[in-house]
Amino acid sequence: MRKNMGSADKIIRLIIAAIIGLLYFTGTISGTVGIVLLVLAGIFVLTSFISFCPLYAPFGISTCSVKQTK
């Protein structure tokens, strides 16, 4: 897997995941919507750590500033 996420993208995803987690665990969001958002937050954290977004790949999107050679 090639990295296709830049540092700004990773930071934004981690901030969104933290906000969703905070809202869920304080009881602001709950039920099915809360669980779906919590799963989405988990995906954001996972993709931030591996620097690869599977949704970017089919569209050829890359927010990574460093060009990698094959």
- How far is 28 from 11, CA to CA, in rounded Å? 23
Can you list the alpha helix ranges (DSSP code H) found in 1-70? 7-25, 31-50
What is the full per-residue pLDDT of the chain (70 aa) written as tens digits? 788 898 999 999 999 999 999 999 999 999 999 999 999 999 999 999 998 988 888 888 888 876 655 5
The whole-model pTM stands at 0.83
pLDDT recorded at residue 64: 83
Q: What is the signed CA dihedral for 49, 13, 40, 29, rounded to 10 degrees?
A: 130
